[in-house]
Amino acid sequence: MAEADIDAVSALRVHGWQQAYAGLMPESYLNSLSAAEDAARRREHFVAGSSHVINLVAEDSHGVIVGWACFGPARDQDLPPGEGELYALYARPDLIGTGVGRALMRETLARAHYAGLRLWVLEGNMRARRFYEQAGFRPDGATSADDMAGIPVTEVRYHRTRGEAAC
């Protein structure tokens, strides 16, 4: 991902949240998300630079960004050293099921040189859970509940060992 991609990635991320989490998170929270605010935060992190966080974009034949993935070192303190984390993976909502997500997952798995890769997914997001399971991820037993606009939203942590069959 280049700095010039940030606005498109932020718009993709926000629209992706609003589509994927409709009915799973409070509508008021989803409606309050701002691509401009997300881009401003993302730009700060990008300018600060981190050689440990990798951002990948997928483009269509016209150079339009249609997907994004981001990964780096695992953030959870209960994990053994050498674990990585898939922080995000989004395909443009109208392109879900066309292979964009699978291509990003394959590239992530090829580039993420960790002993294992973790990710967090909303407990009720069955489409995403099936996608990750098809890519070789399995729940590892950890859960987390966050408060979103006054409503608890539970996430499940998944794990995939390096070298398992790719999607």
pLDDT for position 158: 98
pLDDT tens per residue, range 64-86: 999 999 999 999 999 999 999 99
| Sequence ranges of the domains in the chain | 3-161
User: Which candidate, 16, 13, 10, 70, places its Cα nearest to that of 40?
Assistant: 10
What pLDDT score was predicted for residue 165?
Answer: 60
CATH number attached to the domain at 3-161? 3.40.630.30
Given a cut of 80, is residue 166 above it in pLDDT? no
Instruction: Answer whether 0.85 is exceeded by the pTM.
Output: yes
